[in-house]
Amino acid sequence: MRASVTAMQQPAAASAEAGADAGAAQVAVLEVVLRTLAVREQSLDFHVRLAQEVAERFGGASGSSSSSSGRTDMAVKDADRPTFLPGEGATSSPLPAYTPDNFAYGSTPLTSWLQVMQAAGEHLQQAMGSAPGAGGAGHDTCSSLSAGAPASCAAYNSGKNELVHSRGNSSGGAGARTYVVWGSSCGWMVLFGAAVFGWRCRGVELLRCLHEVARGCLAEAERQGLAPGRVCLRCGDLLSDDVRGAGLVLLADQCWDHALAAAAAAKLAQELPTGALVVSYSGSSSGGGGALAAQRQAGSGAVGTDDRKGGEQEQQQQQQQQDGRGTARAEAVGSEPAFEEVAVVRVPVSWNPDQALHVWRRR
């Protein structure tokens, strides 16, 4: 009997030990991410390179470090614009020209990011769960995980302000959706998703200097135990990124102008699956949040349809609104919103001690 009990205890002990090891690895990954990026962010050379690239590529200096989240991601002149190879998530959306005003550096702490994820609650669980077909070829291009392989993840215990380790195969399995950050900067919030929840993650950042910092930090994180292939970092335009396999898209949109906010919202309405979430630093009356609120369901001549003609009509309507001639656009295109706001949470960020972040759900 004693031998049988001992034999039964051994697998449990081994499982507990494996869980503890995985939890320690997650902490190590988070520590290296936070330490590496904090050092780089405080470097004078980092900010000089950032300002130089914005000035050289966009004809102006970078804005102050107080008006955007983890970075804004913008387009460049045709000669400088990165290209996506077939199957890398490219779309045929027209890429507008952008101004330097869309660029400002800032960061969102891990604790604030976690509060936003917690505020999303059950909507987040549903959005990032298994989605048959969502991770298929051409829809998700950031996964090299083995199908069915258990993914280590960590839940956040807000009451104790700590990470609690768990295991499951829904976070990073082949059918799971992807967490995407548009304007991923140095990779802070992309790596948070991979290290804390074990999600498949993709970050899209246009500025090469920020992209290179993110790549270096990712390499350090993988040396500390982050699963290789879980995070994909792209240097390119967000409007060329395919989000049909995404469950959560975070927009670094605090300083985006109307043109970019409208184009991004239209793309999200057209491509995101039902139930997917979008996090915006802008409310429903301005910026990215306002553009999301203005989107209408497909079938009423609105965004969300794959019909190219309908998309062209929508772009014309957006341009009219921008020119002051389309004030009744929302009422004209239909009554059913494409997105509903499901949560608002106020958290400290580098440029605002009480920043409101809005969580939207694709209807």
Confidence of residue 287 (pLDDT cuts 50, 70, 90): low
How many domains does the chain divide into?
Answer: 1
In this predicted structure, the answer to whether residue 307 has a pLDDT above a threshold of 90 is no
Comparing 110-119, 181-190, 310-319, which segment has the lowest mean pLDDT?
Answer: 310-319
Comparing 2-11, 45-54, 285-294, which segment has the lowest mean pLDDT?
Answer: 2-11
Confidence of residue 296 (pLDDT cuts 50, 70, 90): confident
Cβ neighbour number for residue 259 with a 10 Å cutoff: 17
Q: Is the CB of residue 122 less than 8 Å from the CB of residue 128?
A: no
Pairing of strands 339-349, 352-362: antiparallel
What are the backbone angles phi and psi of residue 250, rounded to the nearest 5°?
Answer: -105, 125
Best-predicted range by mean pLDDT (87-101, 119-133, 158-172):
119-133
Comparing 30-39, 124-133, 275-284, 324-333, which segment has the lowest mean pLDDT?
Answer: 324-333
Q: Is the CB of residue 244 less than 8 Å from the CB of residue 271?
A: yes
Cα–Cα distance, 118 to 156 (Å, whole number): 8
Question: Is 227 within the bounds of a domain?
Answer: yes
Question: Is 4 within the bounds of a domain?
Answer: no
Question: Is 331 within the bounds of a domain?
Answer: no
Mean pLDDT of 333-353: 90
Mean pLDDT of 149-163: 39
Question: Is 157 within the bounds of a domain?
Answer: yes
What SS3 state is found at 68? Answer: coil
pTM to 2 decimal places: 0.71
In this predicted structure, the answer to whether residue 340 has a pLDDT above a threshold of 90 is yes
Question: Is 313 within the bounds of a domain?
Answer: no
Containing structural domain, residue 131: 9-295+337-362
Q: Is the CB of residue 146 less than 8 Å from the CB of residue 204?
A: no
Cβ neighbour number for residue 283 with a 10 Å cutoff: 16
In this predicted structure, the answer to whether residue 334 has a pLDDT above a threshold of 70 is no
Could you report the per-residue pLDDT of 92-106, keeping only the tens digit for each? 444 457 778 778 889
Mean pLDDT of 346-351: 96
In this predicted structure, the answer to whether residue 50 has a pLDDT above a threshold of 70 is yes
Pairing of strands 277-280, 352-362: antiparallel
Could you report the per-residue pLDDT of 215-273, keeping only the tens digit for each? 999 999 999 999 999 999 999 999 999 999 999 999 999 889 888 999 999 999 999 99
Cα–Cα distance, 105 to 39 (Å, whole number): 15
Question: Is 316 within the bounds of a domain?
Answer: no
Question: Is 310 within the bounds of a domain?
Answer: no
Mean pLDDT of 331-343: 77
Confidence of residue 358 (pLDDT cuts 50, 70, 90): very high
Confidence of residue 202 (pLDDT cuts 50, 70, 90): very high
Look at residues 261, 253, 268, 242 and name the one whose alpha carbon lies nearest to residue 363. 268
Mean pLDDT rounded to a whole number for the chain: 73
Question: Under the phi-then-psi rule, with left for phi > 0, alpha for psi from -120 to 50, and beta for the rest, what region is 71?
Answer: left
Question: In CATH, what number is assigned to the domain containing residue 276?
Answer: 3.40.50.150
Mean pLDDT of 39-45: 93
Which is more confident, 329 or 297?
Answer: 297
Question: Is 186 within the bounds of a domain?
Answer: yes
> How confident is the model at residue 337, as a pLDDT?
92
Q: How far separated are the first and last CA of the chain, in Å rounded? A: 57
Mean pLDDT of 5-22: 47
